[in-house]
Amino acid sequence: DIQMTQSPSTLPAAVGDRVTITCRASRRIGVYLAWYQHKPGKAPEVLISEASTLATGVPSRFSGSGSGTDFTLTISSLQPDDFATYYCQQYEDYSYTFGQGTRLEI
């Protein structure tokens, strides 16, 4: 299986901050990477697919970049609604493995 290593596990931040979360794959996955947002009691939602393609309805303050093994999710100016847990996921092979998650907290 492809292992996904996400960091940091917890990220203290404030409204208006620019934050970056990183995700590293154990082998090259091209751009087969997605990012999800998960809030307690709600279904996770896809933010980004193909490493940098914003899902429909996702605000433009979210952006993704990277290819191969190293990827980043950036939120340009944190809003109160953005405090959640974020996961990366590879879909290059049929294990669909996730990173451990990054909890964005105030």
Partner 1 sequence: QLHLQESGPGLLKPSETLSLTCTVSGGSIISTSHFWGWARQLPGKGLEWITTVFHSGSTYYNPSLKSRLSVSVDTAKNQFSVNLTSVTAADTALYHCVTHGREAYNGGYRPAYFDLWGQGILVTVSS
Which residues of the chain form contacts with partner 1 (CB under 8 A)? 1, 32, 34, 36, 42-46, 49, 55, 87, 89, 91, 94-101
Intra-chain end-to-end CA distance of the chain, in Å: 34
Structure tokens at 77: 């100016």
66 vs 99, beta carbon nearer partner 1? 99
Question: Assign residue 78 a region: left if phi > 0, alpha if psi is -120 to 50, beta otherwise?
Answer: beta
- Give min distance, CB of 31 to partner 1, in A: 11
Cβ-Cβ contacts under 8 Å for 105 (sequence gap 6 or more): 10, 11, 12, 13, 83
Q: How far apart are CA 15 and CA 9, in angstroms?
A: 19
- Give min distance, CB of 84 to partner 1, in A: 14
17 vs 45, beta carbon nearer partner 1? 45
69 vs 89, beta carbon nearer partner 1? 89
- Give min distance, CB of 45 to partner 1, in A: 7
Cβ-Cβ contacts under 8 Å for 39 (sequence gap 6 or more): 84, 85
- Give min distance, CB of 8 to partner 1, in A: 14
77 vs 100, beta carbon nearer partner 1? 100
